[in-house]
Amino acid sequence: MIQLIIVYMKAVLFGTGWRAMFYMRIAEALPDLLSIVSVYTHSPERAAELRGKGIPAVSSVTDALSAEHDFAVVSAGREGFMGLMRKLSALGENILSETSFHALTESERDEVEKMRGAVAEQYMLTPLYASVSAALGMIGHPDQLMLSGLHNHHAAAVARSILGLGTDMPDEIRTLDFPSSIVCTGSRSGLCLSGEKEEYTRKLRILRFGDRLFINDFSGNQYHSYLYGKRIEVRGNLGVITENGVSITGEGGYPCFIPFVFHRDSAMGNIGMTLSHVTLGERTVFRNRFYPAPLNDDEIAIAEIISRMRDGESCPTLSDGIGDARLGSML
């Protein structure tokens, strides 16, 4: 019997924004996993600029898809998104969508849900949230989640996974938007040292799903501020998990705390954060199977999705992405 083994995945990349760069860096760091064979951008000038840097960029969808490939990554803006998805679906493409379904109409969501592919909703596969998930059995039945650090569909994906919400929608929602200001420490372009204040809005959402509670706390500048961090608290009937570790009762009923330890070679901004594994006491709760490739936490998770697609294993589906968008629209 002859077996065909795919050594690496060949992808056509639609989009050249900062999210698309994840795939470029993964392909560079893991050539045995991913090869970017074509990059589409609507601008001929931008395509020529990228080709000058050695990137196989084109400004024609037909030309982009003419390269031999296994799947298409859609990392484009909202404008023209549905048109592109429909075209790729009609051609029978296997789609990995990086773009949120948050802005789609309900009929468009129903349409996307029937398409072939996966969604790059990677947060539950990153070291932090994967480690929290691995520790859930220690705290009994988790019925409460407080999350700070992710917005709309990303936060919804974590909540749906940890609380086991499935397609459930909340019975009750309470909201508060609180405007404030804080010293600016960073932006998408990097570190800010001016000391200037920036205005932001803190959005608090309290959602009740029967006997389960989800509290989402997100600030508009949270992704880029060096003063904030990702915070999570999961409460169960036997203990509590946070981003720092697990609080439970130990021998003799005494309360005890077991810390998460993130084992990294280096931590230099968003580049070079090479994590090998995460431990909880003496137990390893997360192992980076791509180590020592220089991937940040998001890239580790996206590489995991691509690896699962290659091997035919379970990964976040387009239907999952639609469920995240429906719940995320309430946050």
Residuewise pLDDT in 10s, the chain (331 residues): 223 334 468 999 999 888 889 999 999 999 999 999 999 998 999 999 999 999 999 999 999 999 999 999 999 877 889 999 999 999 999 999 988 898 899 999 999 999 999 999 999 999 999 999 999 999 999 999 999 999 899 999 999 999 999 999 999 999 999 999 999 998 877 889 999 999 999 999 999 999 999 999 999 888 888 898 889 999 999 999 999 999 999 889 999 999 999 998 865 544 545 899 999 999 999 999 999 999 999 999 999 999 999 999 999 999 999 999 999 999 9
Q: Minimal CA–CA distance to 13: which of 92, 68, 76?
A: 76
CA–CA separation, 327 and 248 (whole Å): 31
For residue 297, the SS3 value is helix
Report the distance separating Cα 198 and Cα 283, nearest Å.
Answer: 42
Tell me phi and psi for residue 145, to 5 degrees: -135, 130
> Is CATH 3.40.50.720 what the domain over 9-99 is classified as, yes or no?
yes
Distance, CA of 74 to CA of 76 (rounded, Å): 6
**DSSP designation for 32:** T
Q: Is 240 helix (H, G, I), strand (E, B) or coil?
A: strand
Contact 96, 309 (CB under 8 A): yes
Written as one string, the DSSP assignment of 171-229 is SEEEEEEEEEEEE--EETTEE--S--EEEEEEEEEEEEETTEEEEEEEETTTTT-SS--
Length of the chain counted residue by residue: 331
Q: With beta carbons less than 8 A apart as the criterion, state whether 245 and 259 touch.
A: yes
pLDDT given at position 112: 95
pTM for this model (two decimals): 0.92
Q: Which of 53, 61, 48 is nearest to 21 (CA)?
A: 53
In this structure, are residues 324 and 156 in contact, taking their beta carbons and an 8 Å threshold? yes
65, 39 Cβ separation under 8 angstroms: no
DSSP 146: E
Residue whose C-alpha is closest to residue 56's, from 13, 120, 105, 89? 13
Query: Which tokens sit at 168?
Result: 């459930």
Give the pLDDT of residue 267. 53
Domain boundaries, the chain: 9-99, 124-297+319-328
Distances (CA, A) of 264 to 26, 123, 250: 18, 19, 29
**One-letter amino acid of 184:** C
Q: Which two tokens stand for residue 48?
A: 């020529």
